[in-house]
Amino acid sequence: MKQMFIIGIVITLTILFGVWVNPPSATVGEWPVLPIIFSAVYVVQAIGFTHAVRHNTEHFYDITGSVSFIGAIGAAAILAQSLSLQGGLLLFMVVMWALRLGSFLFTRVTEVGEDQRFRKIKRSKLRFALVWTLQGLWVSLTSSAALTALLVAKPIATLSPAASIVVWVGVAVWLIGFLTEVIADRQKATFRRNSANAGKFIQTGLWSRSRHPNYLGEIVLWIGVAITASPALEGAQWLVWVSPLFVYLLLTRLSGIPTLALRAQQRWGDDPDYLRYMDTTPRLLPKIFG
């Protein structure tokens, strides 16, 4: 019952957040757009959860998240009064990221056969349902900056020169984060496919500069999205900067780095090379020299 209570609270707060930051002009009839989109995101998670329980599989968890991002940003683009260059850039950034990450994670879990994150969680339907609900929260909050700006973005020609510069700075930051994540993921995938590396941990390429360069890229790209969205934001809409903050907290305090650090400690905690790597390599922000 505790999980059911948490699920209800999470969904309610997400919908209320959508009402709060929804642009006044963004409505369907008399209904604000963002709460509708967020509600649809949770419906998609419920469908995914139902399928996962019926077939006892978590294989479609990550791809469902990616589809939810694409569906949410696509709906906002359709419902926007007009699609400005700023809105088009945000649409491209979110869709490109979701397609790349979703396909990468789906391919990985297909090759491995089981996602270790769900090994114990699947034993309880309520805990499993909570995980799907939290994915809905992740999709809603993380996409909120892009969604809000896309619904109100004005033609870039009408923006001040300073605002136009902010948009392109955001795009540049997103590109840096996106490339960092892609390169880090590919380096690790290549490392794992080499049978000579069985039982070893990666400490080459970007992984020699940061212990979690893929997560660094993820955080940076969503900062880029928020920067790109900023010139369109007014008043309470600035609360959508919760997007990169939520990604940061999720990856550094909750399901990302802490989970991987625990597994790594269990596997290589007594390995001198691993202990040296831990001592000499930053957790997130990379070392540039040395």
Tens digit of each residue's pLDDT (9 = 90 or more) over 40-99: 999 999 999 998 888 887 788 889 999 999 999 999 999 987 788 889 999 999 999 999
Q: What is the C-alpha to C-alpha distance for residues 205 and 214, in angstroms, rounded to an integer?
A: 12
CA 115, 110, 247, 26 torsion-angle sign = negative
pLDDT score for 110 = 76
The total number of residues shown for the chain amounts to 290
| Other CB atoms within 10 Å distance of the CB of residue 144 | 29
Are 166 and 89 contacting, i.e. CB atoms less than 8 angstroms apart?
A: no
**Residue 114 pLDDT:** 62
The C-alpha atoms of residue 246 and residue 218 are separated, in whole angstroms, by 12
The three-state secondary structure class of 32 is: strand
For residue 158, the model assigns a pLDDT of 67
Give pTM, 2 decimals: 0.92
Rg for the chain, CA atoms, rounded:
20
Going from the C-alpha of 158 to that of each of 30, 81, 234, the distances in angstroms are: 28, 16, 16
Half-sphere exposure of 280 (CA within 13 A, CB side): 11
List of residues 6+ apart from 77 with CB closer than 8 A: 83, 87, 91, 150
Provide φ and ψ at 284, rounded to 5°.
-135, -65
Measure the CA angle with vertex 86, ends 73 and 176; round to 5°. 85
Res 156: pLDDT: 60
Whether the Cβ atoms of residue 63 and residue 153 lie closer than 8 Å to each other: no
Residue ranges of the alpha helices (H) in the chain? 2-21, 33-55, 61-79, 85-112, 125-152, 161-193, 213-229, 242-249, 257-268, 272-280
Pick from 173, 159, 258, 172: nearest CA to 212: 258
What integer pLDDT is reported at residue 115 of this predicted model? 61
Structure-token pair, residue 162:
């300073």
What local confidence, expressed as pLDDT, does residue 290 receive?
56
- pLDDT tens string, the chain, 290 residues long: the values are 788 899 999 999 999 999 999 999 888 888 999 999 999 999 999 999 998 888 887 788 889 999 999 999 999 999 987 788 889 999 999 999 999 999 988 888 777 666 666 667 777 788 889 999 999 999 999 999 999 999 986 666 567 888 889 999 999 999 999 999 999 999 999 999 898 988 899 999 999 999 999 999 999 999 999 999 999 999 999 999 999 999 999 999 988 899 888 888 888 888 899 999 999 999 998 876 65
Cβ-based burial of 143 (10 A; exposed 0-12, middle 13-18, buried ≥19): buried
